[in-house]
Amino acid sequence: MSVFKLAMHPASEGDALVLTWGTDPAKLHHALVDLGRTADYRIIKPYLSSTQTFELFCLTHIDADHIEGAVPLFKEAALPMKANNIWFNSRAQLAAATERRAVSERERMGAAQAEKVTAGIVASKWPWNAQFQSGVVSTQSPEAASPIDLEDGIKLTLLSPSDSKLASLLPTWDAELAKAHLRTTDPDEVEEALAAGREALSIGLDVEKLASEPFGIDTTRPNGASIVFIAEFDGRRILMAADSHPDLVEASIRALGYSETNRLRLDCLKVSHHGSKANTSPSLLKIIDCTRFAFSTDGTKHNHPNPQTIARILKNDPARQKTLIFNFHQPNTDQWNNNGDLKTKWNYDCVFPDHGAVGVEIDM
């Protein structure tokens, strides 16, 4: 019996995800997708040390809740792990996407985190974006036209970013990074967000009403540059949506031949942007066939997941039994769990970390 599973480690409001697969349960392979924040890295470090080798380490984009944990990793005198491949679009790749030229020189980056991560990647000597001859992880790199093979037969189909999403990030790279860096030391912002969340929770959970709110799409450029892929192993599929924009992901899925009448079957969707209401569109949900939805966030800072996203997921497929998977108990997730009538009416249940466990693991 082959193994294919997703682990959502605790990563504050961000992601620290691990895919594990293998035909031989004694010889499993792992892919690490993002590393949360610095404090999250401290928690996950023993796991990284004991796992030792990752087939892929993907840093999906430059927001602090995905990349900050990689800074202390690369600061370690001896790296606690080894990656056989690393995927990360640094400033050099954004420039290359703009001009589609060979990357001959790594340019310096403006902001501290990405600069440190880039230096760390260079020092690690881990093969960097090696599957892409241009060095750019983009749907427009020729290699992305077909699935990319990693160890033991897993296939990764790239859905995001595109050259234009990467290119549009370039002019705001410094500003966005500086902002992301500031977030780590701004308690006022945290308190503001918590207050907004308490307000949001009081509106109650009217699924019909929440689902019918007009969809306003995320336009933030770092999120749009997220690396997104479908991982397929032994007939099972998970879509790792990072913090992506739904318009590009939808277009990429349609380009693979899927539509409302020929939906992409998924065993799990790692919901984009921690369940933000601006990243999972009703039209994207219509072209996927999926009953398990995973949300990685402790709800701090942005009150994710937004109830509109969960309402849209429930409303999209009311008849079938659905599972919502959360890696934290927190007000924005518990409210969906503590309502038996709602669960019966909309046919869903909730999965949380086992009592005393750190993070949650899902078999595909």
Which residues are near Zn ion by CB under 5 A? 14, 65, 243
Q: How far is the CB of 244 from Zn ion (least distance, A)?
A: 10
CB of 122 or CB of 217, closer to Zn ion? 217
- AA identity, residue 18: V
Is the backbone peptide bond immediately before 305 cis, with ω within 30 degrees of 0? yes
Minimum separation from the CB atom of position 319 to Zn ion (A): 32
* Residue type, position 156, single letter: L
Nearest to 48 by CA among 73, 84, 21, 77: 73
Tell me if residue 15 falls in helix, strand or coil: coil
Please state the closest distance from residue 60 (CB atom) to Zn ion, in A: 8
The distance of closest approach from Cβ of residue 19 to Zn ion in the complex, given in angstroms and rounded to an integer, is 18
Q: Minimal distance in Å, beta carbon 240 to Zn ion?
A: 13
Which CB atom, from 243 or from 267, has the smaller least distance to Zn ion? 243
Tokens in use for 347? 């046919």
How many whole angstroms separate alpha carbon 314 and alpha carbon 323? 10
Nearest distance, CB of residue 64 and Zn ion, angstroms: 8
Cα-based distances in Å from 169 to 104, 128, 320: 20, 20, 39
**Residue closer to Zn ion, measured from CB, 14 or 135:** 14
DSSP bridge pairs for 82: 53
Tell me how far the alpha carbon of residue 283 is from its chain's centroid: 20
Question: If 0-12 CB within 10 Å is exposed, 13-18 middle and 19+ buried, where does residue 310 land?
Answer: buried
Shortest spacing between CB 17 and Zn ion, in angstroms? 11
Helix (H, G, I), strand (E, B) or coil at 174: helix
Q: How far apart are CA 225 and CA 58, in angstroms?
A: 13
Question: Which of 34, 317 has the CB closer to Zn ion?
Answer: 34
Q: How far apart are CA 221 and CA 251, in angstroms?
A: 17
Nearer to Zn ion, 122 or 175 (CB): 175
d(CA 242, CA 245): 9
Output 85 or 244, the one with its CB closest to Zn ion: 244
Chain-centroid distance of CA 163 in Å reads: 19
Q: How far is the CB of 356 from Zn ion (least distance, A)?
A: 26
The answer to whether the beta carbons of residues 261 and 239 sit under 8 Å apart is: no
